[in-house]
Amino acid sequence: MKSLGLLLMLATPSLFGQPPIAVTGVVRQALTGDPLPNILVTLNRTDAPGPEQAVTTVPNGQFEFLVPPGTYRLMAESPIFGGQIYGATSFQSGSGVALVLTPSTRLPPLDFRLTPPAAIEGTVIDGHGEPIQAAQVQLFQTLILEGRLTVIARGSANTNDLGNYRFPGLGPGEYHLVASGTPWHTWDGLAPGRGSYLVPQFYPNARSADSAAPLVLRVAEDARADFRLDEATGPGVQLSLVEAPPGIAMRLSINARGFGGRTRLQHLGTVSSSFHRVDGIPPGEYEVVVQGVVRGKPYRGLARISLAADDVTVRMPVHEMPTISGRVDCAGQSTTKMTISLYDRDQQARVPAALRPDGTFISANITPGRYSFLLAGAANCSVDRVTVGGKAVPGNRLVVGTDPIAEIVVEAKSVVSSVHGILRRGEIAQPGVKVYLAPVPPNETGPYRVYLTDSDGSFDFRRLPAGRYTLFLAPGAPELFEYANPESIAPYLKNAPTIELDADQRIRQDLAQPDPQ
Amino acid sequence: MLPVFLRHALPLFLLPSAALAQTSFPLAGTVTNAATGQPLPHARVIALRTSGDGETREVTFTDAAGAFRFPALPAGRYSLLAHKPRYTPNHLSPTPSIDLSAPREQVSLPLVPYSVIAGQVADTDGQSLRLVHIEAYRQAVVLGHHRLIRAGTAFTDDRGSFRIWDLPAGRYFVRAMSRAGGTFSLADESAPSTVGRRAFAPVFAGGFERLAEATPTDLTPGQQARVDFRLLHLPAYRVRGRVTGFQPAVPVRFELRRPDTEPTEPRTFFNPATGNFTVFDLLPGSYQLRIRQGERSAALTAEAPVNVGAGETSPVLLALLPPPTLTLRIEGPGTLPCTSLLIDGDHPTQPVAYLDPDKPTRVPAGDYHVSVFCPDSVPESIRYGSAELLGSERITIPADAPPGDLTITRSRRSGKLFIAREGESAELPVLLLPGNAAMGAPRLLEATKIVRPAIQLLPGTYTLYSLRDRLAPYRDPAFLGQLTRGISVQVEDGQTTRVVVEKLSQP
């Protein structure tokens, strides 16, 4: 206990006269329950600025802090487990359960369970059974994003000299894999015989994303996904860049359809002249993208092609990428602590824009897409209306093509309405339970929200526009619960309260959790 | 089995018009592993024929027994190029040449297997460390200096394992650099949650910080060597700051330099909207933080000293500026202008800048080798500011250098040295060592039987040594100190001195 006493002293902050509150607990491996020593545990205040507190668990896994009242986020970090937040319901992400400490809080010792990471690994071999070096394996995951089932690209890996690849640090879930590559004997360009490629293979043993099946990864599992890529010959793509800047060295990517509307990379190369040829592309539909920075300016070109048996020539105009500029107006509030970013949900791209003290912003290097604007940093500013040159932008989603757009005005207003409350079962507050909020009646646009209750059972949905809402729980909902889908939430809305929320109103609505059957 | 296109292509290649008129012969043999003698299946073999009509190439693959066969090739001289993954392609060394004037059935094409360095990285508690940046350097001599050439790089995986493959045999030094570095562009300025708060100093295999003490790894062909690291984790700190003058769309790269060590790319988060940055995982000490945006000659750079101690350091301000300019000035007699070439010591085949007289040229900050060409004169001085470069031919240009001059002063006095070789026809590397640094840097020359023009030198006494190896570190003082049995040559103003190389003895 001597070493624990020393840690206690180190972790004791200056308390400014307020009675300190003890946060204690044990860090354990989630599957075995074994206590974990030597884990860095940190406590960060989230309701006010304050220094980070950090201790390392002692051999029996214990940690202890003494801190002033406030709201805190508890995290643990180690090289094996990565960073995990206390109470988080998904692996290495999510907000976790906030610790709400008031002068009267008696926090029971916390059971901090760290989920061991899982991995997917495998070997890619050729038709002779020999390892394929530098084959590309791309990983996708199906998860819930903003309340809806979404497939996201999780990364890509190249095989080593033994044909092996590995995706470590994964949580349990539904994954999709595809392997592709080019035959080694075409790399150096010494041999004629153009047009050979390795037939992309979708896990397990499928030729297309539609006929593939997900790999369901369990907690801490080391799953294997092996691939055998056969060689075939296919057509070539002849690129002819129009209006390309001189002296170009741009990145070429040829993207095919992957899983769930995401693209997968079929070919990556460098274009260094206006004419460029790529040989050996499997027949199919592709998006050809050329992008690069020439003398400090970003350029981009895009073409969609369909390849059958014959070569295709693509004439591709290359444009300087547009700059987007305008100003933010949030009812006269200062923009000094505000940040603005452009968000394209379809591409899952978030582009920051530099916001100056006078409220003007500029963002260069914008990829074509449909962007909404996100404001952060300022207490309650929420985007209300977006105009370009005085004309309203439908749905506040700005369509960006190849031309620059100036005179954007992002009108924001202060939105301070909120719904909060405490979740209890009987008399006992229920921390770490998901409370959902949906519009009444459920619609396609929302807002839909989820809140993982704090250590005192409280939930707080802030920055809500005025309107009619309902709160509900979803006991027994599937792992991938679409809480923003009117159909999938319908079974959970029986007896759910309806709340009329006016502008600038804060409504309290407590919830009772039924006893489990 | 052959890929489909090749099975169809081969007969077609053999049919063209001219070939029919000529005599054809089969050419066949085996591709083997040079280290074990084992046959290599599925290797690619190219028969390359260069003749007056141009070049023809035929391609085939070895079968499961390592055998290849071109059934009928027109008579002529062929190079046989063999290749297979994990083996050094044989065209990287002199390729066997075959005069095909009769059937050839048993040509042997040995391929030298590449080697591998693999290992495990853990901390002193035995906990494996992921995302540790490992570099393998191969010992080499570049422009007469001992250099370590980066031969391969890897990151440890979640089990602490790393693997660097396709390494040619040779002497290597392996180093654990730091956590995976590099500059990440992030709009969000809150520190990411998974950043470690402990770091380690870069160490070579064996646990030493300095190369001089490092344990080398000698790789034979096809060998897999194991190099493990136990790293001492120490508390690490971060440095914050702000970059000004950057271009919004171009990536910024952060680099950390310490005297006598290779630069590292620290883990850095850079906000391209505001210019704010945070450099992570820094151990206490003094560093030079250098940033670069854009390609080499047009790169914007900035640098600042950073002192990392316990706790938060004051924010670092980095103002990106275009590279400094350097102007070549020529003084002294002579009719033809001199030119100069700046060469990056680590990439000697890629000159960084050509300097023409009186034309300001942008030169990114860095260390360079300076080459000077004066067609009809000899420089007696090459100055950069107050630094005399004649004896070292090395120049360091700092990022914040004001526009500067590289001044070449041509001498009024010069003599000629004529080196000839009699007897043998092979070239012989000869080292010319000036009597003192004011006469210039050591030079590597080739003595041949073919008459070469005399070289122009400042008058004085020089020593000539014949070298066994062109890759000798002839600018390394330790190497020069070991040289014996050179011959002394006097170069007189306005005279030509003739030396016959057979009189030199081998060191």
- Position B24 scores a pLDDT of 92
ipTM of the shown complex: 0.84
Report the alpha-carbon distance of residue B500 to residue A160 in Å, rounded.
Answer: 54
Let me know if A246 is exposed, middle or buried by CB neighbors in 10 A (0-12, 13-18, 19+).
exposed
Instruction: Map tokens 């080196």 to a residue.
Output: B419
Confidence at B178, pLDDT banded by 50, 70, 90: confident
Would you state the CATH architecture of domain B115-319?
A: Sandwich (2.60)
Q: Is the pLDDT of residue B4 over 50?
A: no
- Please report residues of B whose CB lies closer than 8 A to that of A365: 248-249
Least trusted range by pLDDT, from A114-123, A274-283, A337-346: A337-346
- Position A508 scores a pLDDT of 96
Answer for the pair B331, B409: CB distance below 8 angstroms, yes or no. yes
Residue from the list B91, B129, B248 with its beta carbon closest to the beta carbon of A365: B248
Mean pLDDT of A155-177: 95
Computed from CA positions of residues A52, A53, A59, A60, in that sequence, does the dihedral angle turn out positive or negative? negative
Confidence at B95, pLDDT banded by 50, 70, 90: low
Computed from CA positions of residues A362, A364, A370, A375, in that sequence, does the dihedral angle turn out positive or negative? negative
Instruction: Map tokens 């444009």 to a residue.
Output: A319
Mean pLDDT of A283-292: 92
In this predicted model, what pLDDT tens digit does every residue of A206-232 receive, in sequence order? 999 999 999 999 999 999 999 999 999
User: Is the CB of residue A360 less than 8 Å away from at least one CB of chain B?
Assistant: no
Burial A273-297 (b: 16+ CB within 10 A, else e): ebebebbbbbebebebbbbbbbeeb
Mean pLDDT of B374-379: 88
Q: Which amino acid is at A499?
A: I
Q: Would you list the domain boundaries of chain B?
A: 4-111, 115-319, 325-410, 415-503
Computed from CA positions of residues B276, B280, B282, B288, in that sequence, does the dihedral angle turn out positive or negative? negative
Report the alpha-carbon distance of residue B227 to residue B308 in Å, rounded.
Answer: 31
CB count, 10 Å around CB of B114?
A: 19
- Please report residues of B whose CB lies closer than 8 A to that of A120: none
CA neighbor of B355 nearest in space, from B289, B408, B430:
B408
Q: Where are the alpha helices (H) located in A358-398, listed in sequence order?
A: none
Q: Where are the alpha helices (H) located in B363-501, listed in sequence order?
A: 477-482
User: Is the CB of residue B222 less than 8 Å away from at least one CB of chain A?
Assistant: no
Q: Is the pLDDT of residue A192 over 70?
A: no
Between residues A274 and A420, the one the model is more confident about: A420
Q: What stretch(es) of chain A map to CATH 2.60.40.1120?
A: 2-114, 118-233, 237-320
- Position B223 scores a pLDDT of 96
Q: What is the DSSP letter of A107?
A: P
CB count, 10 Å around CB of A182?
A: 21
Strands (E), A79-135: 82-85, 99-101, 110-114, 118-126
Name the token pair of A119. Answer: 């991995």
Report the alpha-carbon distance of residue A314 to residue A254 in Å, rounded.
Answer: 12
Bridge partners of residue B121, in order along the sequence: B229
In this predicted model, what pLDDT tens digit does every residue of A23-48 receive, in sequence order? 999 999 999 999 999 898 999 998 88
CA distance B185 to chain A (A): 10
In this predicted model, what pLDDT tens digit does every residue of A499-514 receive, in sequence order? 999 988 999 999 999 8
Report the alpha-carbon distance of residue A394 to residue A385 in Å, rounded.
Answer: 9
Residue from the list B3, B41, B194 with its beta carbon closest to the beta carbon of A83: B194
Which range scores top for mean pLDDT: A336-340, B53-57, B102-106? B102-106
Mean pLDDT of B99-121: 94
User: Is the CB of residue B92 less than 8 Å away from at least one CB of chain A?
Assistant: no
Answer for the pair B496, B418: CB distance below 8 angstroms, yes or no. yes
8 Å CB contact of B9 and A192: yes
- Chain A, residues 394-453, CB within 8 A of chain B, namely none
- Position B462 scores a pLDDT of 94
- Please report residues of A whose CB lies closer than 8 A to that of B248: 354, 362-365
Give CA angle at B78 (B72, B81), nearest 5°: 100
Report the alpha-carbon distance of residue A174 to residue A168 in Å, rounded.
Answer: 15
Q: What stretch(es) of chain A map to CATH 2.60.40.10?
A: 417-512
CA torsion B427→B431→B432→B435, rounded to 10°?
Answer: -160
Report the alpha-carbon distance of residue A11 to residue A55 in Å, rounded.
Answer: 7
User: Which CATH code of 2.60.40.1120, 3.40.1710.10, 3.55.40.10, 2.40.110.10 fits the domain covering A237-320?
Assistant: 2.60.40.1120
Least trusted range by pLDDT, from A389-398, B50-59, B330-339: B50-59
Mean pLDDT of A362-390: 84
Burial B244-280 (b: 16+ CB within 10 A, else e): eebbbbbbbbbbbeeeeeeebbbbbbbbbbebbbbbb
Would you state the CATH architecture of domain A324-414?
A: Sandwich (2.60)
- To which CATH superfamily is domain A118-233 assigned? Carboxypeptidase-like, regulatory domain (2.60.40.1120)
Question: Mean pLDDT, chain B, as a whole number?
Answer: 83
CA distance B45 to chain A (A): 9
Instruction: Identify the closest residue of chain B to A168 by CA–CA distance.
Output: B158
Report the alpha-carbon distance of residue A76 to residue A114 in Å, rounded.
Answer: 8
Least trusted range by pLDDT, from A1-5, A357-361, B396-400, B431-435: A1-5
Burial A159-181 (b: 16+ CB within 10 A, else e): bbbebbbbbbbbbbbbbbbbbbb
Q: Is the pLDDT of residue A15 over 50?
A: no
User: Is the CB of residue A295 less than 8 Å away from at least one CB of chain B?
Assistant: yes
- Please report residues of B whose CB lies closer than 8 A to that of A133: 85-86
Q: Where are the alpha helices (H) located in A182-265, listed in sequence order?
A: none
Which range scores top for mean pLDDT: A253-262, B59-68, B381-390, B442-451? B59-68
Confidence at B148, pLDDT banded by 50, 70, 90: confident
Q: Is the pLDDT of residue B50 over 60?
A: yes
In this predicted model, what pLDDT tens digit does every residue of B406-430 receive, in sequence order? 999 999 999 998 887 766 556 678 8
Mean pLDDT of A230-243: 91
Answer for the pair B409, B438: CB distance below 8 angstroms, yes or no. no
Q: Is the pLDDT of residue A174 over 80?
A: yes
Share of chain B above pLDDT 90, in %: 33
Mean pLDDT of A195-213: 93
- Position B195 scores a pLDDT of 44
- Please report residues of B whose CB lies closer than 8 A to that of A79: 123, 127-130, 196
Between residues B183 and A252, the one the model is more confident about: A252
User: Which CATH code of 2.60.40.1120, 2.40.30.10, 2.40.160.40, 3.30.420.40 fits the domain covering A2-114?
Assistant: 2.60.40.1120
8 Å CB contact of B249 and A321: yes
On the question of a common fold for B4-111 and B115-319, the answer reads: yes
Q: Which amino acid is at B251?
A: P
- Position A289 scores a pLDDT of 94
Share of chain A above pLDDT 70, in %: 95
8 Å CB contact of B41 and A85: no
Q: Is the pLDDT of residue B307 over 50?
A: yes
CA distance A38 to chain B (A): 10
- Position B452 scores a pLDDT of 67
8 Å CB contact of B83 and A119: no
* Class of domain B4-111 (CATH, top level): mainly beta
User: Is the CB of residue A341 less than 8 Å away from at least one CB of chain B?
Assistant: yes
- Position B193 scores a pLDDT of 42
**Going by C-beta distance under 8 Å and a sequence separation of 6 or more, which residues neighbour residue B408?**
B328, B329, B330, B331, B338, B340, B372, B374, B379, B381, B382
Report the alpha-carbon distance of residue B326 to residue B410 in Å, rounded.
Answer: 19
Terminal-to-terminal C-alpha distance of chain B: 54
- Position A358 scores a pLDDT of 85
Name the token pair of B195. Answer: 């950043």
Report the alpha-carbon distance of residue B29 to residue A169 in Å, rounded.
Answer: 48
What DSSP element (H or E) covers A8? helix A2-11
- Position A71 scores a pLDDT of 94
Report the alpha-carbon distance of residue A506 to residue B44 in Å, rounded.
Answer: 74
Mean pLDDT of B357-378: 87
In this predicted model, what pLDDT tens digit does every residue of B432-486 receive, in sequence order? 999 988 898 898 887 766 656 778 899 999 998 888 777 788 888 888 888 888 8
8 Å CB contact of A80 and B271: no
In this predicted model, what pLDDT tens digit does every residue of A54-75 receive, in sequence order? 888 999 999 999 999 999 999 9
What DSSP element (H or E) covers B10? helix B4-14
Confidence at A161, pLDDT banded by 50, 70, 90: very high
- Position A2 scores a pLDDT of 38
- Please report residues of A whose CB lies closer than 8 A to that of B247: 296
Between residues B355 and B189, the one the model is more confident about: B355
Confidence at A458, pLDDT banded by 50, 70, 90: very high
For residue B412, how far is the Cα from the chain centroid?
37
Q: Is the pLDDT of residue A494 over 70?
A: yes
* Class of domain A417-512 (CATH, top level): mainly beta
Report the alpha-carbon distance of residue A303 to residue A242 in Å, rounded.
Answer: 12
CA neighbor of B153 nearest in space, from B256, B294, B264, B236:
B264
Q: What are phi and psi of B237, to 5 degrees?
A: -130, 170
Answer for the pair B42, B87: CB distance below 8 angstroms, yes or no. no
* Class of domain B415-503 (CATH, top level): mainly beta
CA distance B189 to chain A (A): 10
- Position A313 scores a pLDDT of 94
8 Å CB contact of A365 and B249: yes
